[in-house]
Amino acid sequence: MGTIGTNSIGAVHEESIKEAQAFSTTTNPHKQQQLDAGALFVLKSKGSWWHSGYHLTTSIVAPPLLSLPFAFASLGWTAGVLSLVIGAIVTFYSYNLLSLVLEHHAELGHRHLRFRDMAYDILGPRWGRYYVGPIQFMVCYGAVVGNILLGGQCLKAIYVLWNPNGTMKLYEFVVIFGVLMLILAQIPSFHSLRHINLISLVLCLLYSTCATAASIYIGNSSKGPHKDYSLSSNEETRIFGIFNAMAIIATTYGNGIIPEIQATLAPPVKGKMFKGLCVCYSVVIATFFSVAVSGYWTFGNESAGLILTNFIDDNGKPLVPRWFNMMTNIFTILQLSAVAVVYLQPTNEVLERAFADPNSSEFSARNVIPRLISRSLSVIIATTVAAMLPFFGDIMALIGAFGFMPLDFVLPVVFFNLTFKPSKRSPVFWLNSTIAVVFSVLGVTAAVAAVRQIGLDAKTYKLFANV
């Protein structure tokens, strides 16, 4: 029996190695492909289109959507709704184009598993190594830091509701959330997250429903604030606020890991990502618009960076029942952990590629020990940064402008035009070119606005601040 078990495990591992070799990217199909431990262990290609829908939903429909009323406060009703609609249409279109490009290369025997692989093959080695790869890493790791910080803030909100005179500081709650992430980070592969991400999909619907219901309840009660939808009278503040709000919306719709999600699909992949995107965007429409509209309707230009903050008045008294507020924060915290672990996957893949031995079993001591150490250090560093810099919202706006704008709005249409080479007279070519130019300009302008905001807020920066 022992011999049979060992042989079976060896056969399964050998089959996995062949699969990884078959799907690993290369810029020269005639060269022998090298075995890639990151692809073999982290980006396992075993999922269905339903699984891609769960992964996509967790990576896009995340608690940062609770900042959409704040973005509306800088845009007003018309521009706010229009920006939300355009963001949904353009990202759905761009992600679908990216998926088609990946499918096309897979049919040619060139299955790309990572964003940098696509850039390496389509734009050239330098673009993949020095631009797309570093930007994607910055965006994903920045999202991990941001989610850990947000998790700490939600934990603190529950603590304040439970014990208004408590003495615990924000950084202590960030560390507590970091410990949870330390455990979840050890989940071996992206595909292993499929059940967690199904729960995550349910959780995002729950806290979005709670946030919407709370906003409507407060808006219809005497406790609600006076509704004021006017924009800033200072022209400079108003203009920069508009571009900062666009960066927030772009970050909210941002994904940055479409190739990695598509890599989790079992071949053939044709058409599966489109179905997954349809699942995801049905949730996007239900959550984004309900939270943004209800929150801004109730709180107007007083909408906070996180709408949950508005549910407590200036005197610390909750505007909705205490248990309801706590329940909403709990749903948010649980989903934040799923979102953070999804955005850890590109980092995990890089670490696995560097330290794992693809010729040994995934769960051998040779691979488990380096995995445990490297992933733990990754989470510890992210938690330390989140605790030290609790003003990460400003930095995330900058990351959104520099990272999510090019990755999610510009590069997909550029990849499509370079891969399929549509006629310069065709509407598709000009639509894609227009999207690339417009969002490149918006990205640069939003980056300037984000840098300006960081400069304005710099005087309040303090390491391990209790905000």
Q: Compute the radius of gyration of the chain from its Cα atoms.
A: 23
Cβ-contact 181, 337 below 8 angstroms: yes
d(CA 156, CA 15) in angstroms, rounded, equals 47
The residue with tokens 């505007």 is 319
Burial (CB count within 10 angstroms: exposed 0-12, middle 13-18, buried 19+), residue 419: middle
Per DSSP, helices labelled H in 108-234 are 115-122, 125-127, 133-162, 170-184, 194-219
- Tens-of-pLDDT digits for all 467 residues of the chain? 444 443 444 444 444 444 444 444 443 433 334 557 777 888 888 889 999 999 999 999 999 899 999 999 999 999 999 999 999 999 999 999 999 999 999 888 888 888 988 999 999 999 988 899 999 998 899 899 989 999 999 999 899 888 888 889 999 999 999 999 999 999 999 989 999 999 999 999 999 999 999 999 999 988 778 889 998 888 888 888 888 888 889 889 988 899 999 999 988 888 899 999 999 999 999 999 999 999 999 999 999 888 998 998 877 788 999 999 999 999 999 999 999 999 999 999 989 988 888 888 888 999 999 999 999 999 999 999 999 887 766 776 777 788 888 999 999 999 999 999 999 999 999 999 999 999 999 888 888 888 887 777 777 777 777 76
For the chain, domains (ranges, CATH) are 42-460 (1.10.4160.10)
- For the chain, the residue count is 467
Name the strand (E) or helix (H) holding 312: none
Name the strand (E) or helix (H) holding 358: none
d(CA 193, CA 348) in angstroms, rounded, equals 13
The 8-class DSSP code of residue 36 comes to -
Question: How many CA atoms lie less than 13 Å away from 138 in the CB half-sphere?
Answer: 18
Amino acid occupying residue 75:
L
Cβ-contact 20, 358 below 8 angstroms: yes
Per DSSP, helices labelled H in 264-321 are 272-299
Q: Read off the pTM.
A: 0.88
Handedness of CA 35, 38, 41, 44 (dihedral sign): negative
Q: Which of 269, 352, 251 is nearest to 52 (CA)?
A: 269
